[in-house]
Amino acid sequence: MRPTVNDIAREAGVSLATVDRVLNARPGVREKTVKAVNDAIARLGYVRDLTAANLARGRTYRVAVVLPDTESQFIQSLAEALTEAGSLAATSRTELRLHRFPAEDPHALAALLGTLPGRDYLGVALMAPETPILRDAVRQLRANGIPVVALVSDLPNAGRDHFIGIDNRAAGRTAGVIMGRFLGGGPGQVLVLGQSLLARDMIERRRGFDEVMQRDFPGLEALQSLETHGSPATLRQVVREMLANAPDVRGIYAMGGGNRTLTQVLDEMGLSGKLTVICHELTPHVRAALIAGRITAVITQNLGHLARSTLRVLRAKADHQPLDESQEQIRIEIVLRENLPEPPVSQPPTEVDQVA
Amino acid sequence: MRPTVNDIAREAGVSLATVDRVLNARPGVREKTVKAVNDAIARLGYVRDLTAANLARGRTYRVAVVLPDTESQFIQSLAEALTEAGSLAATSRTELRLHRFPAEDPHALAALLGTLPGRDYLGVALMAPETPILRDAVRQLRANGIPVVALVSDLPNAGRDHFIGIDNRAAGRTAGVIMGRFLGGGPGQVLVLGQSLLARDMIERRRGFDEVMQRDFPGLEALQSLETHGSPATLRQVVREMLANAPDVRGIYAMGGGNRTLTQVLDEMGLSGKLTVICHELTPHVRAALIAGRITAVITQNLGHLARSTLRVLRAKADHQPLDESQEQIRIEIVLRENLPEPPVSQPPTEVDQVA
DNA sequence: GCCGATCTGAGGTACGCACCTCAAAAATGC
DNA sequence: GCATTTTTGAGGTGCGTACCTCAGATCGGC
C-alpha cells in the first residue's frame, strides 16, 4: 500500500494536523518540524493523492476561453477541439466555457474580459490581437489573480502567464525548407500571401521563411507579401494578377487564412497540382485539397493537443504548480498526403465516463 | 453546483442505493426503475465524478511495461519517457513498472509474461517481435483478464487489445515522398537499410516506401534492402561496399536502428551532407546529426505521447471504458532541422504535485 | 391470499485528504 | 519565573462515490 498522510505523521512523530500544515504550506510550523516531516515524506516515498485532495477541497476548475467570432474553419475547429477537451475533462471537476467577441472590436473584447472576474473563473485562455486596450484588460485580469494564457498568437507585452501555440518563426523556416527542397533549390519565384502584415504570427512566419530562403536557396526569389485582409475578393484579385504577370512563380506560401479561395483560384486557372503550395492549419478543406493534390504540404498544429494543453496549463497555474514543459510544447507538424492523420471524428455527446 | 448521486436519487424518487446499482450496473433493479434513474441523470446533466469514484474504490492502477533489454538509444528514450509518464501519473493512483527481457530470447519473455498475472497487474504493455510463443503467452494473459497492448510494433495475430504506435506503412510512404521530392524526382539510386527483414515494422515501412517510389518517382531506383542484424560491423561493411560500387546513390533510407554507425561511416567517407539521408526515431544522436546536417530528415513518433497514451489506454481497458481514439492516435512526425522541437529535459524527480 | 423470490430503501463505513476549532504544550521575551 | 507568543495535538466534518447489510416492499405463481 502506498503511504498516506497518517503514515507520515506516525513516521515523523508529529500529529496529522502538523503534516497537513506542512503539506499545504500553512503557517505556524517550526523549521525543525517542517524538516522532520519532509524527511519522513522522503523516507516513505509519499506521493500525495491529488484526486483525493481535490475531492476534499471541493474544487471545480472553471475556465474561460475567449475566441474571436470569425467564421473561419480554423477558429471553428479550434472551438470544437476546446469543447471536446472540456467535455472529456468534466469528469475531473473541470468546466470550460467558451466566449466569443466581435473580431474587429477591441473595445467589446475588453468589456467582455472585464466581466470575467465576477464569474468565478480560475483562469482565462485568450486568442486575440495584441492591442493596447487588450493589454490593459489582461493586466486587469491578472491583478485580480486570474491567470491568463495566450492561445495560438502570443501576447508577450500584455504579460500573459503562458503562451500555447507554435513558434511561428520556426514554422516559417520549416515552410521555407520544404518549399526550397521541393522546388529543387530553384530557379523560380515564390508567392507569399498573408491576411494582414500587422498580425504578430504573420510577421514571424514571414521572417522565418525569408531566413531560410535567403540562406539556403538563393536560386529562389520570395516575392513581397500580398495582403488579403481576410477578403476572398482581394485574395482572388491579387493572386490572379500576380500569376498572370509572373511566369516564373513555381510555389505559393500561404501564411494564414484564405486557403479555400486560393485553391479555387488555382483550379480556375488550371494550375492545381502544377505549383508547390504550402499553407498552414489542417482544416477540413485543406485536408481535402491535400488529398486531391491541390495543396502540397501543410504546416499545422494539433488542435487537440492545444486544447488539452490549455486546460492543463490553466489548472496548473490556478494551483501554482509547475508545468511539464515538454508536454505543453506544441509541435510544428508537417503534413503531406502520405502522413495525413485520420480525420478527428467529432464525437457525439456520450453518457459514458472517461478517464481523464 | 453540479449534481451528485444524491440529487439523482431525489430527482428519480428512489434511494441512493438504487442509483448506485444503476450507475455501476449491479443487478437487482427493475427495468422501469433503471429508466427512471437514467432519465433523472439525463435531466440533471449528471456527470460522474471519477476522482471520487476511484477514491472510494480504493483502486490503484498497477501497470506493467515489458521492453527488450536492448541498449539502443531508442529503447532507452522510450524507457525514460515511460518512467516519466509513470511518475507524473503517480498522483492519480497509477503505478508503472518496467520489466526487461533478453532481446533474442522468446522463451525468457514468455516466462516473464507468465509471472505477471500473479502480481496484481491491471494491464500489460509490450514491445516484442511476434513469435508463436509470444502469441500463446499473450493469449494466456488475456485469458487471465489482463488487457495487453502492443507498443511500437504491432502484434495483430496475438490478439492484443490495442496497438500504440505509428502506422509503419504510412511512415514508409512519408519517407518515400520526402526522399523523392528532395531528390527532385531523380535520376538516382536510393539505398535502403534495415535491421532485419523479418520484423513486421521493417516490412511495412519498406512496402510503403516502395509504393510511393514506384508510383510517384519512377526516375529513382530504390535498391534492395540491406540487412544489418543490429550489428555495427555488418552495417559498416555493407554501406561501404554499396557506396563504393554504386556511384548513382543519392539518398539513403535507414528504416530502423544503427543510425549512429551510419553517420560515422558517411563521415569517414566524406559523404556527410552530400546525400539525402532519412531515418527513423529522433534519438539524441539523430538530433545532433540533424543539426549538423548529416541527416536530412527524420520520421519519428513522439515518445512522450506514446508513453502517456499507454497509461491512458491501459486504464481505460481496465475500466472497460471507451477510448478517445483521436487522442490515442500517434502521429507520424516529420522532423527537419528547422522544426526540431526542443530537447525534452529529463526532469529531476520532483517533490511537487502535478495535475494529471 | 399465502409463499418464496425478487426488488428496493435506509443507513452505515470507508477512501485520502483539506480545513476548521480548541486546548495544551513548548518556546520566547523580559 | 512569569506572562506572552508560537507551535503542536486531538478531534471533527465534509468532499462524492463504492459497497455492504438488513429490513421492508413488491412481485409472480398457484
| CATH architecture, domain A61-165+303-328+344-353 | 3-Layer(aba) Sandwich (3.40)
- pLDDT-derived band at A93 (thresholds 50, 70, 90) equals confident
Does residue B173 belong to the interface with chain A, where contact is any CB pair within 8 Å? yes
List the single protein residue with the shortest CA to C1' distance from C9.
B15
Structure confidence at residue A172 (pLDDT): 96
Question: Rounded mean pLDDT of B3-18?
Answer: 87
Which residues in A lie closer than 8 A to residue B346 (C-beta atoms)?
none
Domain boundaries for CATH 1.10.260.40 within chain A: 5-48
- Identity of the residue in B170, B316, B352 whose CB atom sits nearest the CB atom of A321: B352
Q: Which pLDDT does position B144 carry in this prediction?
A: 87
Q: Which residues in chain A have Cβ-Cβ distances shorter than 8 Å to B315?
A: 355
CA of A34 to C1' of C27 (A): 16
A271 C-beta less than 7 Å away from strand C:
no
- Chain position carrying cell 501564411: A255
pLDDT grade for A346, boundaries at 50, 70 and 90: low
Average pLDDT, chain A: 87
Average confidence (pLDDT) over B315-340: 84
CATH code 3.40.50.2300 region(s) in chain A:
61-165+303-328+344-353, 168-300
- Is the pLDDT assigned to residue B91 strictly greater than 80? no
Which nucleotide has the least CA–C1' distance to B56? C15
pLDDT bracket for residue A349 (50, 70, 90): very low
Q: Which of residues 204-223 of B touch A (CB under 8 A)?
A: 208, 212
Contact A332 B353 (CB under 8 A): no
The DSSP symbol for B146 reads -
Closest C-alpha among A127, A8, A5 to residue A66: A127
Q: Is the CB of B28 under 7 A from strand C?
A: yes
Provide, for chain A, the percentages of residues in helix, strand and coil under a 3-state DSSP scheme, each rounded to the nearest 5. 50, 15, 35
D strand bases under 7 Å from protein CB? 6-12, 14-21
Report whether pLDDT(B353) > 60: no
**% helix, strand, coil for chain B, step of 5:** 50, 15, 35
Measure in Å the smallest separation between the Cα of A337 and chain B Cα atoms. 8
Stated as kind and residue range, the H or E segment containing B243 is helix B232-245
Q: Cell numbers at residue A209, please?
A: 521563411
A274-313 residues touching B, CB cutoff 8 A: 302, 304, 308, 312
Q: Which of A71-80, A112-121, A266-275, A286-295 has the highest mean pLDDT?
A: A286-295
Which among A96, A163, A95 is positioned nearest to A126, based on CA atoms? A163
Dihedral sign (CA B240, B245, B247, B250)? negative
Any idea which residue has 500529529 for its cell?
A15
Model confidence at A229: pLDDT above 70: yes
Pairing of strands B148-151, B162-164: parallel
pLDDT score at B43: 87
Is B241 in the A-facing interface, judged by CB distances under 8 Å? no
Contacts of A212 in chain B (CB under 8 A): 338
According to CATH, the superfamily of the domain at A168-300 is: Response regulator (3.40.50.2300)
Identity of the highest mean pLDDT range in A87-91, B16-20, B32-36, B265-269? B265-269
Whether B4 sits with its Cβ under 7 A from any strand D atom: the answer reads yes
Residues A274-303, mean pLDDT to the nearest whole number = 94
> Do the chains contact at A177 and B338, CB–CB below 8 Å?
yes
- Find out whether B151 and B181 touch, Cβ atoms under 8 Å: no
pLDDT score recorded for residue B14? 85
Angle, helix A284-292 to helix A259-268, in steps of 10 degrees? 30
Rounded Cα distance between B178 and B157, Å, is 32
Task: Please give the pLDDT value at position A351.
Answer: 34
**pLDDT band at B295, cuts 50/70/90?**
very high
- DSSP-derived letter for residue A29 is -
Q: How far apart are CA A54 and CA A56, in angstroms?
A: 5
Is 60 exceeded by the pLDDT of residue A352? no
H helix or E strand, kind and range, residue A138: helix A132-143
A80 touches strand C (CB under 7 A): no
> Under an 8 A CB cutoff, do B174 and A91 touch?
no
Asked if the model's pLDDT at residue A338 lies above 70, the reply is: yes
Distance CA B138, CA B119 (A): 16
Query: In this predicted structure, what is the pLDDT of residue A344?
Result: 63
B307 C-beta less than 7 Å away from strand C: no
Interatomic separation, CA of residue B17 and C1' of nucleotide C4, rounded (Å): 24
CB contact under 8 A, B339 and A336: no
Q: Please answer yes or no on whether B356 and A354 come within 8 Å at the CB atom.
A: no
CA of residue B17 to C1' of nucleotide D22, angstroms: 13
pLDDT digits (tens, 9 = 90+) for A135-161: 999 999 998 889 999 999 889 888 899
**Integer CA distances (angstroms), A309 to A53, A82, A213, B304, in order:** 22, 10, 32, 14
User: pLDDT over 70 for what percent of chain A?
Assistant: 96
Which distant-in-sequence residues (6+ apart) come within 8 Å of B15 by Cβ? B9
> Residue A12, CA: closest nucleotide via C1'?
D8
**Where is average pLDDT lowest: A120-124, A276-280, B212-216?**
A120-124
Answer yes or no: do B170 and A50 touch at CB < 8 A: no
User: What is the mean predicted confidence (pLDDT) over B325-329?
Assistant: 79
Q: pTM, whole model, 2 decimals?
A: 0.83
Chains A–B, number of C-beta pairs less than 8 Å apart: 159
Q: Is A215 exposed, middle or buried (0-12, 13-18, 19+ CB in 10 A)?
A: exposed
- Tell which residue, A202, A190, A267, A264, has the closest CA to residue A228: A202
In this structure, the strands spanning A162-164 and A148-151 are parallel
Phi-psi region of A273 (alpha: psi -120 to 50; beta: other; left: phi over 0): left
CATH topology of domain B5-48: 434 Repressor (Amino-terminal Domain) (1.10.260)
Which pLDDT tens digit goes with each residue over A103-117? 888 999 999 999 998
